[in-house]
Amino acid sequence: MSEEHIKNLEEQFEARIARDEKIEPKDWMPEKYRKTHIRQMSQHAHSEIVGMLPEGNWITRAPSLRRKVALLAKVQDEAGHGLYLYSATETLGISRDEMYEQLHTGKAKYSSIFNYPTITWADMGAIGWLVDGAAIINQVPLCNTSYGPYARAMIRVCKEESFHQRQGYEIMIKLANGTPEQKEMAQDALNRWWWPSLMMLGPTDDVSVHTEQSMKWKLKRKSNDDLRQQFIDQTVPQADLIGLTIPDPDLKWNEERGSYDFGEIDWDEFWQVVKGHGPMNKERMKARVGAWERGEWVRDAAMAYAEKNKNRKDKQAV
């Protein structure tokens, strides 16, 4: 293909997206579009998979059967979301094994939030309320993204996600209305998860490298700062309602803007965790790689069993 021909195709491609047309797997697409989508979608899938670990930690210790079935269902949904996203990413020509390899070798990232520890039951509340809350704000605009398989996967994910946030907030309500110790536990979880949740919405607009191109391809509809403001404005009243305090002394309603002003985010901490120096980075990868390696004989045995069955059937047919 000549350079001019490619340029022509690229222009037509951008025009299709601008007209709100969807791009499907077999359509021609610029290499950069393919690569950017593989990167973002696989990281999204990895986040769902690694995201099971901090919560899986509490399934056997949930305080009641009601809480246990809910948490189990939530973690199972996250496995499902990871699978929707992996299979959507495979339509771009990368194999499942390559993606796992990238995760396990640290080449691919996953959401930094999962590198924090879950040390009390209240963390299950804070994760559902704040982490899933921030994830929903990130994900809802993606239901309209330009790549068809990604958009369809996100519609399913978003439909299922709202129970996650509600179950988390319900845990917080219960603890906040419980004994002084329980309320303190809820406040402590909020204190630890608040800032990492704000960081989840990404670096500030002035340093975010992908924003402009991502806006064009509808991988992003709003800037990181706008999403963060939306998250803060919607979450602060929810904390007020249950008598918990957002751990930010600079948080203040700004009448003029109709939004909350908030304090400085510690971006050094964010970059430290991204670079692998968070409290749980090593532990998460160890758990993930360990599960993959310990499961290898099961995967191989299942494949061998299927082949044996097939051979047997083929023989009978002769």
Partner 1 sequence: MSDKKNWPLWEIFVRSKNGLEHRHCGSLHATDAEMALENARDVYTRRNEGVSIWVVESKNITASNPEHNGELFEPAQDKVYRHPTFYDLPDEVKHM
Question: What is the identity of the amino acid at 246?
Answer: I
**What is the DSSP-derived secondary structure letter of residue 247?**
S
User: For residues 196 and 202, is the Cβ–Cβ distance under 8 A?
Assistant: no
Q: In angstroms, how far is CA 76 from the centroid of its own chain?
A: 14
Of 9 and 242, the one with the shorter C-beta distance to partner 1 is: 9
Draw the binding track, 148-177, toward partner 1 (x: CB under 8 A; -: no contact). Answer: ----xx------x-----------------
Q: In angstroms, how far is CA 37 from the centroid of its own chain?
A: 15
Number of residues that bind partner 1 (CB under 8 A): 30
Which residue among 24, 226, 261, 266 contacts partner 1 (CB under 8 A)?
A: 24
The yes or no reply on residue 27 touching partner 1 (CB under 8 A) is: yes
Phi, psi of 261 (to 5 degrees): -85, 150
Tokens matching residue 219: 């991988």
The yes or no reply on residue 12 touching partner 1 (CB under 8 A) is: no
DSSP string, 254-276: ETTTTEEE-----HHHHHHIIII
Minimum CB–partner distance for residue 159 and partner 1 (Å): 8
CA 178/CA 185 separation, integer angstroms: 10
Q: In angstroms, how far is CA 34 from the centroid of its own chain?
A: 20
Which residue among 12, 87, 254, 311 contacts partner 1 (CB under 8 A)?
A: 87
CA 164/CA 170 separation, integer angstroms: 10
Which residue among 226, 279, 305, 311 contacts partner 1 (CB under 8 A)?
A: 305
CA 150/CA 56 separation, integer angstroms: 26
The yes or no reply on residue 33 touching partner 1 (CB under 8 A) is: no
Q: Which of residues 92-121 bind partner 1 (CB under 8 A)?
A: 95-97, 101
CA 86/CA 291 separation, integer angstroms: 18
Minimum CB–partner distance for residue 28 and partner 1 (Å): 7
Of 9 and 62, the one with the shorter C-beta distance to partner 1 is: 9
The yes or no reply on residue 15 touching partner 1 (CB under 8 A) is: no
Which residue among 15, 18, 215, 303 contacts partner 1 (CB under 8 A)?
A: 303
Give the binding range for partner 1 (CB under 8 A) out of 61-69, 207-215, 260-268, 293-301.
293-301
Of 20 and 97, the one with the shorter C-beta distance to partner 1 is: 97
204 Cβ partners below 8 Å, 6+ apart?
A: 224, 225, 265, 267
Question: What is the identity of the amino acid at 187?
Answer: Q
Minimum CB–partner distance for residue 294 and partner 1 (Å): 13
The yes or no reply on residue 296 touching partner 1 (CB under 8 A) is: yes
Binding site for partner 1 (CB under 8 A): 24, 26-28, 73, 76-77, 80, 83-84, 87-88, 90, 95-97, 101, 152-153, 160, 296, 299-300, 302-303, 305-307, 309-310
